[in-house]
């Protein structure tokens, strides 16, 4: 319902746009009131006009090809490209925007339709210093992305994000006590599942699974692991 949309879903995004001043917003795959999320009137009416978002909007990967392949709201890739551009989707994570020239040739788009998207993207690149003689980001080595300081921040964020729903007195576990602990589930010893989708390749030895973490913390205990089932 509209009430659920405005009371439940949009407030967090509004706060990110107005208070956090995010530079980019990503659209989803689903449809909202019959319109694909990356070509929704919500982008222009609410995100741009009501909230005053001036940054760039990017589609989720493959979301624009969904227009003609799965949602069937368009028939061709040029039509999908035109629909997204006209709803202020600036960047396509995918290949649909390779058809923008065809969309222009077919009369589906004009250069005036594209200009606002290009201007927003160029503004972002300027903010990043990409056109400066000495871009500060060029001086940052790739290794900094996985430095000890960043790992410590990530670990602290992980600690603070955990929520204990119930404790019958068993926690905290006594590392010196001898006990038998059952660890059950296909994700208990799967490092990728601790991180989630869109995770880049990890350095060797990075990350700790639930099973290995318990084994390290409870060395006096007997840890038994059962996969239980597989993950599709």
pLDDT band at 118 (very low <50, low <70, confident <90, very high): very high
Pairing of strands 31-32, 35-36: antiparallel
Q: Is the confidence at residue 201, as pLDDT, over 90?
A: no
CB 42 within 8 A of CB 32: yes
- Main-chain dihedrals φ then ψ at residue 26, nearest 5 degrees: -110, 140
Which residues participate in catalysis according to the annotation?
A: 60
pLDDT band at 84 (very low <50, low <70, confident <90, very high): very high
For the whole model, what pTM was predicted?
0.73
Mean pLDDT, rounded, for 122-139: 89
Contacts of 17 (CB under 8 A, 6+ apart): 25, 47, 51, 52, 53
Mean pLDDT, rounded, for 177-185: 93
Mean pLDDT, rounded, for 167-186: 90
- Kindly provide the b/e burial profile for residues 130-161, where b requires at least 16 CB atoms within 10 angstroms of the residue's own CB: eeeeeeeeeeeeeeeeeeeeeeeeeeeeeeee
Q: Indicate the range of 64-78, 91-105, 141-155 predicted with least confidence.
A: 141-155
Query: Each residue of 23-72: pLDDT tens digit?
Result: 999 999 999 999 999 999 999 999 999 999 999 999 999 999 999 999 99
Q: Is the confidence at residue 133, as pLDDT, over 90?
A: no
pLDDT band at 219 (very low <50, low <70, confident <90, very high): very high
Q: Is the confidence at residue 103, as pLDDT, over 80?
A: yes
pLDDT at position 213 is 92
Element holding 116 (H helix, E strand): helix 111-127
Choose from 89-103, 124-138, 206-220 the range with maximum mean pLDDT: 89-103
pLDDT at position 117 is 97
pLDDT at position 198 is 77
Mean pLDDT, rounded, for 150-165: 90
More confident residue, 191 or 215: 215
Length of the chain: 232
pLDDT band at 196 (very low <50, low <70, confident <90, very high): confident
Question: pLDDT exceeding 90 applies to what percent of the chain?
Answer: 72
pLDDT at position 177 is 87
- Average pLDDT taken over every residue of the chain: 92
């Amino acid at each position: 319902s509209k009430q659920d949309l405005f009371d439940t879903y949009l407030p967090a995004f509004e706060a990110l746009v107005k208070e956090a001043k995010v530079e980019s917003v990503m659209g989803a795959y689903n449809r909202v009131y019959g319109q694909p999320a990356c070509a929704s009137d919500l982008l222009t009416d609410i995100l741009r006009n009501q909230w005053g978002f001036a940054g760039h909007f990017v589609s989720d990967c493959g979301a624009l090809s969904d227009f003609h392949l799965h949602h069937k709201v368009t028939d061709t890739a040029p039509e999908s490209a035109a629909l997204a551009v006209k709803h202020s989707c600036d960047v396509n994570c995918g290949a649909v925007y390779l058809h923008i020239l065809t969309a222009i040739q077919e009369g589906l788009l004009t250069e005036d339709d594209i200009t606002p998207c290009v201007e927003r993207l160029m503004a972002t690149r300027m903010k990043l210093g990409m056109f400066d003689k000495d871009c500060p980001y060029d001086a940052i080595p790739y290794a900094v992305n996985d430095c000890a300081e960043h790992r410590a921040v990530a670990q602290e964020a992980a600690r603070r994000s955990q929520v204990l729903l119930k404790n019958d007195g068993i926690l905290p576990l006594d590392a010196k006590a001898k006990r038998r602990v059952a660890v059950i589930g296909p994700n208990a010893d799967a490092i990728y599942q601790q991180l989630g989708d869109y995770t880049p390749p990890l350095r060797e030895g990075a990350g700790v699974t639930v099973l290995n973490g318990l084994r390290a913390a409870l060395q006096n205990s007997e840890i038994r692991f059962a996969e239980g089932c597989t993950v599709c």
